[in-house]
Copies of this chain bind each other. A is one copy, B any other.
Amino acid sequence: MAIIGVLLAGCGVYDGSEIHEAVLTLLALDRAGAEIQCLAPDMPQREVVNHLTGEAAAETRNVLVESARIARGNIKDIREVSAADLDGLIMPGGFGAAKNLSDFALQGAAATVHPEVKRLLRDLVAAGKPVGAICIAPATLTKALADMHPEVTIGADLATASVIEAMGGRHRVCTVDMIHVDEKLRLVTTPAYMLGPGIKEVAVGIDKLVAEVVRLAGS
């Protein structure tokens, strides 16, 4: 049974992991017979956003602690996880993937990737293990692997795509029901809520992404 990591970044689209994308990933992995290992960095969130108003809130929350809400408490600090522990990894989207796992949402092409995230992503790729990234997470993935010129999709947003290219990545336009596969680096990406419009459409792309990551993990 493949062990697939799910790298979370908090709990909520505006300051953490996009909840629907994360849960759809867990559902598809469980249905595929994979063993799931949730993980997240133990760090303060870049910010806390009131999801009712969309405004920043004067609060502090921890990425690992909030991610544990999605994982029902079954989660590890990314520091405790090495590439040898996993057969593949998936990063759901949401602003947390570009605010906490890196600062792409703030710094664009000059982004810095969280060192533990960068370490795990590069070790997985070096070991030939597949990495899936959903929604905006491919931007952080691109920055982590910039010297390898990863080929990814974040959908059809040309501004974001041009920043991905500026970081050294190659962007491919996809619709929400599609995945893009970088065969060389074994990366699988899908636009999800970068395009929407709703959960049932997002599920189509995520189901395909999970199936491909699990297939690559076993081959």
Which chain A residues have a beta carbon within 8 Å of chain B's beta carbons? 11-14, 16, 18-20, 23-24, 26-27, 30-31, 50-52, 54, 64-66, 68-73, 75, 198-200, 203
Contacts and interface: CB of A to CB of B under 8 A. Distances in A.
A72 B196 CA distance: 12
Given A26-B199, A30-B198, A69 B20 contact: no
Contact of A73 (B30, B52, B199, B200): B52
Nearest to A31: B200
22 contacts: A11-B12, A11-B19, A11-B69, A13-B72, A14-B73, A18-B72, A19-B19, A19-B23, A19-B69, A19-B70, A20-B23, A23-B199, A24-B27, A27-B200, A30-B200, A50-B68, A51-B71, A51-B72, A52-B64, A52-B68, A52-B73, A54-B73
A58 to B, nearest CB: 12
A32 to B, nearest CB: 9
